[in-house]
């Protein structure tokens, strides 16, 4: 992550890194702006989703839309739920940063897990 210019502190981008500069360019252009409204899924959507999954081809899975609304899924939806962020109209940069944040959190979790396992291995050798 450090090689990309991504710091663990608040999953920030290192100022001036090539990645940070590219993100700034994307923020200006805002790639992937689509004309349909984004929303978040709720229990009320369950029936419609199941019906579409059964009736449509695999394009619904790749690019779901529910009556003109594109449900927000993936890292951004998880971040907005986890951090209780207000719904808005996020662009490409917000989605990319949510994905980066999730990757940094996963790396930290994996490292913590490896540390716990190596500590446990050391204590089992000492008692064995």
pLDDT tens per residue across span 66-94 = 777 777 778 888 888 888 877 666 777 88
User: In this structure, is residue 86 part of a structural domain?
Assistant: yes
Average pLDDT over residues 93-107: 85
Question: If residue 69 lies in a helix (H) or strand (E), which one and from where to where?
Answer: strand 69-71
Number of domains in the chain: 1
- The SS3 assignment for 3 reads helix
* 114: containing domain: 35-127
- Assess contact for 64 and 70: CB atoms under 8 A: yes
User: In this structure, is residue 46 part of a structural domain?
Assistant: yes
Phi, psi of 13 (to 5 degrees): -95, 135
User: In this structure, is residue 56 part of a structural domain?
Assistant: yes
What average pLDDT does the structure give for the chain?
Answer: 76
């Amino acid at each position: 992550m450090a090689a990309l210019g991504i710091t663990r502190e608040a999953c920030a981008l290192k100022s001036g890194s090539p990645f940070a500069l590219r993100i700034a360019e994307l923020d200006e252009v805002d790639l992937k702006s689509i004309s349909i409204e984004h929303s978040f899924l709720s229990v009320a959507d369950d029936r419609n989703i199941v019906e579409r999954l059964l009736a449509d081809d695999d394009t619904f899975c790749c690019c779901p839309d529910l009556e003109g609304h594109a449900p927000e899924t993936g890292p951004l939806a998880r971040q907005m739920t986890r951090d209780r962020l207000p719904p808005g109209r996020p662009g490409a940069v917000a989605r990319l940063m949510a994905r980066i944040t999730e990757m940094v959190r996963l790396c930290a979790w994996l490292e913590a897990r490896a540390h716990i396992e190596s500590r446990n291995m050391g204590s089992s050798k000492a008692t064995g």
